Structure formats: structure tokens, C-alpha cells
Amino acid sequence: MAHSLFDNKSVQKTDNLVHAIAEDGSCMILCADTTDLVARAEWIHRPSATVTAALGRLLTAAGLMGALLKSENDRLTLKMQGSGEVGGLLVGADAKGHVKGYPFNASADLPLNDKGKLDVGGVICGRDEKGELLGGGLLTVIRDNGETQPYVGQIPLVSGEVAEDITAYYATSEQIPTVCGLGVLVNPDLTPKAAGGFLLQVLPGGDDKTIEQLEKNVQAMPPVTVMLEQGLTPEEICIKALEGLSPQILSKQTVSYQCDCTRERTDRGLLTLRKEGLRQLIEEDGKAELCCHFCEKKYRYNKKELEALLAQAEI
């Protein structure tokens, strides 16, 4: 069973992310159905319902933002950290629609919040005895092309509900008026029932009229998971959000959960222990097992393999 899930050909809805733009270039939207992607994350990490919702929302945001990366080698990292029980969430995406992530503490959980919803904000930010959200949480956005100095943006968490934090990030760090909607519905057996999201942005050509129309459209839209459950496709949601602005479909692509870990990369990780650390590992344990946080794949090393790495280590 483990094999079929880690197989790249495993079931994945094709073209589950759609990019559309208003005919006059005043605004654009990205919308994705990430139900399968979040199901894969849930299968790997076995989180509580609250953490599935938190991680699923951040994975969806990364998939949407990854689609905006400029070149093939660009990578995006999103990290949310607060005083909540989950400890933090780390998510990565590339421009090809590959998304991966993990919660620091998958079993963290809280009762439903006062709206009867999974308490994503509480599990990330933490709550005081009165039930108020704790401050001090951060959202970090890193864009790296592997060549020049990575771009790092950081903002204080607004609510820990993820979509509001992403919206605030675009407004403060990038000065792009944005509306982000993210949702994950969790089944009683903890698998996701529906997951998805959208990122709606006003482009430099947009004016007050564009914003007015978008606000009208967004207010009329039910939550994204409700629309997905009603059977709406990401394309139909894009058209709904850009109603009255002559929406044009720019592109369609697939976003899926995929880890890019390799044995070579794990080798490099072990080499950072340097000769001294490797020698100690060989003497004390005679073997090593490293587990990838993103996909839980285990890389095992016997004594001989560790000795080969020791011989390779320069310092």
C-alpha cells in the first residue's frame, strides 16, 4: 500500500489548478481543488482533524503561490509558527505544482471554536485561559531560485486561520491587494472531504471599479469547500469570482503532493556531521536511519555505507 501512494502515477486529479484573468488585465485569480493533495498529506502524517485543516490550508496556499513563481527552478517555502500546540507548520512548493509539508506536532488538537469550526487559529497561535488568541506568531515566506540570495518576507500572524494571514502578507509585504480563501472539510474518519482555495489579486491596471466588482463577487460566493462540494470546478469558481469582468482562462495545471527527497540529499545531510560526527555515529550505533519529515520515507545506512561517507567527508 505504501508503494502505491509514493508512486508518482498514483491517482491525482489532472488540471486541478486554474489561472484566470479579467479581459482588461485589471485582476486575476488562481483557484485549486486540493482534495487529493490534502488526502495524501493526511495519509502520510496522520494528523488530528484540526491539524489536517491547518496543514491542508497552508499546503493549498503554497500550491497557489507556487503557480506564481517565475522560473522553473524557483522554490517557495511557507512557515507558520505560533504558541499553539502544533508548534509550527512547514510547507514547500515549486513552480511545477509539487507541494509538500509537515506539522511539527501532528497530534495537536483543540475543541471546536465558538463558531463550531475546527480551531485552526487556536492550534497555531495558542489561546490563553480566557480563550483569546495569543500573539507573537509569525508567517515566513521564502522564495529561492537556488542562485541569488533568497527573498524572505515575514509578518505577524493575524489570526492563524491561514487565509487571513496570506491576505495580510500580500498587503503588507508585497503591496498587492489580495483576497485569499482556503478551506478543508474533514470527514469523521479524519480524511479530507473537500479541500481547496483561491487567490484573487488586483493587478496594476485595476481601479476602484474593479475592486468594487470583486468585493461584490466575493461577498456573494459561498466558502470554497461549499462550492467544491456543490460540484463546482476550479474553472467555474474562477469565472464566478471574476463575474462582470469578462474572465479569460490563462492556464490549467496539476498540483499534487510530491516529495523530492533523495538518498543523495540524505547523504549530504549526513556529511554535515563532518568526520567527527560520522566517526561517533559509526562507533556508537554502527548504523543510521534518517526519516524525511515531508514524506516519512526512511533512509537506512549500515556501517559500511557510513564508512564510505566518512571517507568522502572533507573535514
Q: How far is the CB of 281 from Zn ion (least distance, A)?
A: 21
22 phi-psi bin (left φ>0, alpha ψ -120 to 50, beta other):
beta
Residues 202, 224: contact at Cβ < 8 Å? no
Residues 61, 33: contact at Cβ < 8 Å? no
User: What CA–CA distance (Å, rounded) separates 37 from 2?
Assistant: 16
* Cα-to-chain-centroid distance, residue 267: 26
Q: Name which of 28 and 295 has its Cβ closer to Zn ion.
A: 295
Q: How far is the CB of 261 from Zn ion (least distance, A)?
A: 3
Q: Name which of 76 and 194 has its Cβ closer to Zn ion.
A: 76
Q: Which residue has the cell 488540471?
A: 15
Q: Name which of 169 and 294 has its Cβ closer to Zn ion.
A: 294
* Cα-to-chain-centroid distance, residue 59: 2
Helices (H), the chain: 2-6, 35-45, 49-66, 120-125, 163-173, 208-220, 224-229, 234-241, 263-271, 274-284, 303-312
User: What CA–CA distance (Å, rounded) separates 287 from 178?
Assistant: 50
Give the bridge partners for 252, in sequence order.
Answer: 18
Q: How far is the CB of 90 from Zn ion (least distance, A)?
A: 13
Q: How far is the CB of 216 from Zn ion (least distance, A)?
A: 44
Q: Name which of 182 and 295 has its Cβ closer to Zn ion.
A: 295
Q: How far is the CB of 186 from Zn ion (least distance, A)?
A: 24
Q: Name which of 100 and 240 has its Cβ closer to Zn ion.
A: 100
Angle (CA) 262-263-269 rounded to 5° is 95
Helix axes of 234-241 and 208-220: crossing angle, nearest 10 degrees: 130
Q: How far is the CB of 133 from Zn ion (least distance, A)?
A: 32
Q: How far is the CB of 259 from Zn ion (least distance, A)?
A: 3
Name the residues that contact Zn ion, by CB under 5 A: 259, 261, 292, 294-295, 297
Q: Name which of 44 and 184 has its Cβ closer to Zn ion.
A: 44
What nine digits make up the cell of 63? 500550491
Q: Name which of 8 and 148 has its Cβ closer to Zn ion.
A: 8
